[in-house]
Amino acid sequence: MALRAGDHATFRAIVNDLNPGLTRLARTYLPAAIADEVVQETWMAVIRSIDTFEGRSALKTWVYRIMLNKVRTLAVREAKIVPFTSVGARSSGDQPSVDPDRLVHSELGSGYWPEAPTRWDTLPGERLEARETSTRIRQAINDLPDTQREVLTMRDVEGWTADEVCNALGISTVNQRVLLHRGRAAVREALEDYLS
């Protein structure tokens, strides 16, 4: 492997490819400046431990795991307040991801959305490009519980496959689907009023 041999061009290419996604995911846990430092520390850890990489997973998965371990440890240590969104019914695993009263279709009955979400490509471009929309989406994602935020960010923001997410986070396929569904449902609910 060229990376083990100390090939600077290979390392630079890997950093250029993975760094933006690492930074985005780290920033869902930590303020930007601290997240950027953690990503830099991640790359230092990659350099120090590349000889221990056994290739049982993709290099990308291995690097993300290193970063997530660092970020989670730091986020726990740095947490001084409990976010309001993590308290109460919303954080309970026993609660449905969507209020059942909202899932009643006029023809299909209960368990179905009453209507499809508004297609983003039919909305005026100004609204889609508006900072307010982007801010609302980021906030909705940031308000998710950690595991939902990780899965949703990796799948929907970074474009990872389900298998890649399962390998990186060490979770089952079923758990990944549940976390993704709950995360998407929470983001949809947060944006429903704004986009309709």
Q: Residue 24: CB partners within 8 Å, gap ≥ 6?
A: 153, 157, 158
> Domains, the chain, ranges and CATH?
8-78 (1.10.1740.10), 97-195 (1.10.10.10)
Strand 104-105 with 109-110, pairing: antiparallel
Distance CA 54, CA 68 (A): 19
Question: Does the reported pTM lie above 0.85?
Answer: no
Distance CA 149, CA 182 (A): 10
Q: In tens digits, what is the pLDDT along the chain, a chain of 196 residues? A: 677 777 788 889 999 999 999 998 888 888 888 889 999 999 999 999 998 888 888 899 999 999 999 988 887 776 544 444 444 444 445 566 677 777 777 777 777 677 766 665 566 666 656 667 888 888 999 999 999 999 999 999 889 999 999 999 989 999 999 999 999 999 988 888 777 7
